[in-house]
Structure formats: structure tokens, C-alpha cells
Amino acid sequence: MKVMLDNGILSHSQFAEGNLITTEIFWNGSNHSVQLAGFVRKKIHPDTAYQNEIDALFTIGRMIRERRVRAFSYIELSFEKIKRQMGESAFDALADCPIERCKVPLERSRFFQTIDFEGYVAKGGKKDRKAGMDTSMSQISFVELLLSLEEGHVQQLISHNDIFGMSSFEVESLQNLSWFRTMCRVSQSPENYPDMLHLWAAQRNHMDVFLTLEKRLPNIAAHLPTSTACVASFPTVVLRPLALLDRLGVTELDPVPIEPQRFYPIVGHSFPINIE
């Protein structure tokens, strides 16, 4: 089964965050206060159902390592994970998982060129605009450009491909633009355009599943056309972790190897310390 991993899957796969605690040790005949560096579990999500989906990522990771699932990402999703902090592999649900790279439907740099890397890798939604970021080269701006292309524009781009140097895969994506417009229209908001871009990439690469933790994306995908022709051309379904495991026939979940209210020293993870 070929599965594209949404950025939220990757960011929530790390269950630990760094921490310091002060403790006492008995050494050379007396007690001494020392600071220990280590890890604690990230805050549990208040929505129990959502946290259950996150906890299922350890089982998803095992499915990938056992090759029951082939995991994929692509460049636009990679941009979203640039600011993610590295963690401890012992508490990373996707540690040692091979994640393959698939093709981008249309390379954004062919249309947008800038030295503002932060603006380029941004989604470009309300949060970015509120922060005063230049979103003119963002994912949302790119999608809006694609949606503005009329059929004559598309044909001109294709006929002048000797200038743009697009791959045959990208040319097919341009010819497929009407479906992407449908996806964006169904999504109802430019805030959802980055998700539609990622789902389109999954569909264009004939992924079986686009795996996400989001609640709204499966609901949006459920309103896309479901004719036989659409399903044949765009076979990707949007699932959350527990639904994917159900499809795989997995009923018993792997335990989460890090507990709340416990401190795991960098040296000696197997000897955690209770904390309040």
C-alpha cells in the first residue's frame, strides 16, 4: 500500500521534548544537587479521540518498517517540516522508517522565484499574514495562480515548454488542472488550498492513501466527485491513522514507549524518573 504522509503525521511522530530536572545523588559520602538533561512526553491533547489517533502512529511506523506500507512525501510537504525540531529517536514513532520522495505535480519555482526563503516555504494563510509575512510566493499564492489560468494560458504554457522545461509529468498535471480546480472549489476556502495541493500530489502519484491527522480534510475529500472515471484517475482516499490500520486488518496497537509525568535521562532511557 502506497501512503503519502501529511506534515502533521511527521510532526506528531515525535512524542518527546527536551527537559532538565534537578535531582540529588549520593556521591563521595554526601548528597549533591545535579541537573540531568533528558526528555518528557509532550503534552497530551485534550481531545482523547485525537490523542488516540496520534498514539496509533507507533503502529503505523511498524507497518512502514515491516514494508506493509510504503511511505511517501514530496517537496511541498518537506517545506512545511523545515522548522520542526529534532527529537529523540527512541520516542519517534517513525524512527528508521524509509520515506520515499514522489513527484511534484508542478514545480513552484518555475513560476515563482525569490530569495525570501521564509516566505517561499510558508503556507500563506491568515496566520502568516497576521505575522506580517510576505506571502506573495507562498503555497496559497501559487494555488491561486494556477486557478487563475484559463485554458488558453494552459495551452500556451504547454506549447512553450521548451522555455519552461517542464517534465512530461508536469505537462500532464497542467492538462489535469480542471480536476484541481474542482478540488479547490469543494474545499471552499483558500486556507484549505495547501491541503488540496498535497492531496493532488498524492492523486497524481497514484497513492492509495493520503494519511492525515486533520479532521476536516477527510470531510472535504468525501465531497469530491466519486464517478467511476474520477476514482480510476484519482484513486487516493484520505484516512486518519486508526482508519488506515483498520484497512490493514490491524486491531492491536503498539504501546507508546513514553509515559506522562516521567523524566527520561539522555543516558539510560530505560530508567525513567517520576516527576510531579
Q: How many Cβ atoms from other residues are within 10 Å of residue 101's Cβ?
A: 11
- pLDDT: which is higher, 65 or 11: 65
- Residue 228: band (very low, low, confident or very high) from pLDDT cuts 50, 70, 90: low
- Residue 265: band (very low, low, confident or very high) from pLDDT cuts 50, 70, 90: confident
Look at residue 270 and tell me whether its pLDDT is greater than 60: no
Residue 35 φ/ψ, nearest 5 degrees: -100, 135
Round to whole Å and give the CA distance between 262 and 276: 8
Least confident of 4-8, 16-20, 151-155, 206-210: 16-20
Torsion of CA 156, 200, 138, 8, to 10 degrees: -170
pLDDT of residue 84: 58
Round to whole Å and give the CA distance between 265 and 140: 42
| CA distance between the termini of the chain | 43
Look at residue 249 and tell me whether its pLDDT is greater than 90: yes
Can you list the pairs that 261-266 forms with residues at least 24 positions away whose Cβ atoms lie under 8 Å? 262/40, 262/41, 263/19, 263/21, 263/36, 263/38, 263/39, 263/40, 264/16, 264/38, 264/39, 264/40, 264/88, 264/90, 264/91, 265/36, 265/37, 265/38, 266/36, 266/37, 266/38, 266/39, 266/88
> SS3 for 120?
helix
Rounded to 5°, the CA angle 50-52-55 comes to: 115
Round to whole Å and give the CA distance between 125 and 176: 25
